[in-house]
Structure formats: structure tokens, C-alpha cells
Amino acid sequence: MEQLSIIIPTYNERNNIIPLINQIETVLDGLNFEILIIDDNSPDQTWDLIFDTYSKKENIRAFKRITSKGLVKSLEHGVKNSQGEILVFMDGDFSHPPKTIVDLISKLDSFDIAIASRYANGGVDGRDQVKFHRLLSKLISHIFKYSTGLPIRDITSGFFAIHKSKLKPLRGGYGEYFIDLISNLFHQGAKIVEVPYTNKNRKYGISKSGTNSLELIIRGIPYLLMIFKHSKFVRYILGSR
Ligand SMILES: Nc1nc2c(ncn2[C@@H]2O[C@H](COP(=O)(O)OP(=O)(O)OP(=O)(O)O)[C@@H](O)[C@H]2O)c(=O)[nH]1
Ligand SMILES: [Mg+2]
């Protein structure tokens, strides 16, 4: 099997990250993989914990970023430093169960990208502590589907596997990059599959997407703008239908 690079952006995930890495190591036992933790100089020093704990393991690396912080810049940093032909993107808070990585990569023999999906048949959004967040995620995915006409049910997942050769530059500041990526890949004929999974509440720490309704609504605005950019209407106006 080709080498896997698991890219995990972190900001204040000190209490989650070691148990998460342990579980990833267990489910990927026997495979050729590396784990890249991309940390934006977290005040809780998540990066330092990785440096200390895994100093002797070459396949588990932490990157401490000081300048031009942000989720998408961190993901790009992970891609640039990755050695694998297959990339897996996931959160560092335990909301993405490591066992789903195996389901995702098993699809890459026949597909270019496999998205872990809460809204595919058999998938569940099990985050019962953040009901409004859950509602917004679903709403954005519905708006995406009806505005773009693309048959993707979970566009805010943030958990996916892709052949590195198929990846495009990531554009956006936060999770809206995925709307841009999937829309571009779809129109270029990439083979995309959704794999059902159950999303969990984050184990420790607080959400960076927002901790109250107002923050979450503000966070959602770039998602809506990105959907509009890729909508059937704009594509029609621009003649790219
Ligand atoms: N490096 C880096 N990581 C980030 C940044 N913002 C968020 N993250 C990480 O990106 C992942 C997703 O952020 P979360 O806070 O879990 O957002 P969410 O999944 O919408 O919210 P939860 O309901 O709390 O799970 C987590 O691993 C965060 O630590 C950032 O600016 N830089
Ligand atoms: Mg999360």
C-alpha cells in the first residue's frame, strides 16, 4: 500500500492529541503511515507535548507555526511537508473516529477522494452537546446541495482521504475551503465517494468554530459566499455550465 500522511491541524488540543495518536497508531498498525500535527503555536503548547512524546518516532512530527496562522494555512503546511501519496485530513479533538480512516482509504482504489459523511446513509452526527452547531452544519450542506446541484451530502465534514496527485491548492480561511475543493474536483470529473461515519462530541477543550450562536453564524458567512461562488446561478452567468 502507498504511504499515508495523516494531517491534523491543532489549536489547544493538548488533552486530546496523545490518546488520538495512540488510537490512530492502533488502527493503522502494519501500514506505512506518518502523522503530521500542524499547530498554530497553541497557548496550551500542544506542539511541545508532541515534540517531547514522539522525539524518537520519525513518523510522528509536529510543526509549530508562528506566522500567518489559520486552519487552511495549517493544512497547506501539512500538505507541503507530507511524504505520502495518500493524504488524510482530520480534526485533533476526537470528533473524527480513527477507525473511519480505514474505511476512507479502502475506497481510494476506485475513487479519487473519499469523504467521511454524517449525512450519507448510515452516517450520524452524534454531537449532542452542540445542537445549534449541528443544525448549522446540516443547513450549510443542504444549501450547498441545492445551490450547486452537486450530489455531495456532507460538505462541512473536514474528514477525508485523497490521492495527493488530485489535490488542488486550498482556498479560504476556514472550513469553506472544502466547498471550493469539492466543487472544482467535481467539475473536473474526479471520482468522489461519501463514506458514512458517526461524528462525536469533541472530547476535551472548546470549539474553534464558535462557542455561541452568534460566533457560529458569523463563521458560516464565508461558507455561504463560497457556495454562492460555485452555485448553478453563478456558473450559468459565467458561462461555465
Ligand atoms: N493549526 C490550527 N488548527 C486549528 C485552527 N482552528 C481550528 N483548528 C483545529 O482544527 C480542528 C477543527 O476545529 P474544531 O474546534 O474542532 O471545530 P469544530 O469541529 O467545528 O468544532 P467542535 O464542535 O468543537 O468539534 C481542531 O483540531 C482544531 O484544533 C487554527 O487556526 N490553526
Ligand atoms: Mg471538531
Is residue 215 one of the residues assigned to a domain? no
> How many whole angstroms from 10 Cα to the centroid of ligand 2?
10
Is residue 27 one of the residues assigned to a domain? yes
Query: Which of 14, 71, 88, 218 has most ligand 1 atoms within 8 Å of its beta carbon, as the pocket-test mutant?
Result: 71
pLDDT classification of 241: cutoffs 50, 70, 90: low
> How many whole angstroms from 71 Cα to the centroid of ligand 2?
12
Q: Which of 8, 60, 62, 9 is nearest to 34 (CA)?
A: 60
Is residue 65 one of the residues assigned to a domain? yes
- Calculate mean pLDDT across residues 21-44: 98
**Ligand 1 atom at minimal distance to the Cα of residue 11:** 29
What are the tens digits of pLDDT across the range 107-136?
A: 999 999 999 999 999 999 999 888 899 999
Is residue 214 one of the residues assigned to a domain? no
Query: Which of 95, 207, 208, 223 has most ligand 1 atoms within 8 Å of its beta carbon, as the pocket-test mutant?
Result: 208
What is the pLDDT, as a whole number, of residue 128? 86
What is the average pLDDT value for the chain, to the nearest integer? 96
Residue span of the structural domain in which 31 resides: 4-129+152-203
> How many whole angstroms from 202 Cα to the centroid of ligand 2?
6
Tell me how far apart the alpha carbons of residues 193 and 180 are, in angstroms, rounded to a whole number.
17
- Calculate mean pLDDT across residues 180-206: 96
Answer whether 47's CB lies under 8 Å from 41's CB: yes
What is the pLDDT, as a whole number, of residue 162? 98
What whole-number percentage of the chain has pLDDT above 90?
A: 94
Is residue 225 one of the residues assigned to a domain? no
Whichever domain contains 33, its CATH number is 3.90.550.10
Query: Hey, what's the cell of 49?
Result: 507535548
Is residue 167 one of the residues assigned to a domain? yes
Is residue 209 one of the residues assigned to a domain? no
Tell me how far apart the alpha carbons of residues 130 and 120 are, in angstroms, rounded to a whole number.
20
What is the pLDDT, as a whole number, of residue 35? 98
What is the pLDDT, as a whole number, of residue 129? 82
Which protein residue has the closest C-alpha to ligand 1 atom 21?
207
What is the pLDDT, as a whole number, of residue 214? 95
**Ligand 1 atom at minimal distance to the Cα of residue 12:** 29
Query: Which of 93, 136, 176 has most ligand 1 atoms within 8 Å of its beta carbon, as the pocket-test mutant?
Result: 93
Number of domains within the chain: 1
Is residue 120 one of the residues assigned to a domain? yes
Quick one: three-class SS letters along the chain? CCCEEEEEEECCCHHHHHHHHHHHHHHCCCCCEEEEEEECCCCCCHHHHHHHHCCCCCCEEEEECCCCCCHHHHHHHHHHHCCCCEEEECCCCCCCCCHHHHHHHHHHHCCCEEEEECCCCCCEECCCCCHHHHHHHHHHHHHHHHHHCCCCCCCCCCCEEEEHHHCCCCCCCCCCHHHHHHHHHHHCCCCEEEEECEECCCCCCCCCCCCCHHHHHHHHHHHHHHHHHCCHHHHHHCCCC
> Does the pLDDT value for residue 62 go beyond 90?
yes
Determine if ligand 1 sits within 6 Å of the CB of residue 99.
no
Q: Which of 114, 120, 68 is nearest to 90 (CA)?
A: 114
What are the tens digits of pLDDT across the range 138-155?
A: 999 999 999 999 999 999
pTM: 0.97
Comparing 120 with 241, the larger pLDDT belongs to 120
- Calculate mean pLDDT across residues 82-96: 97
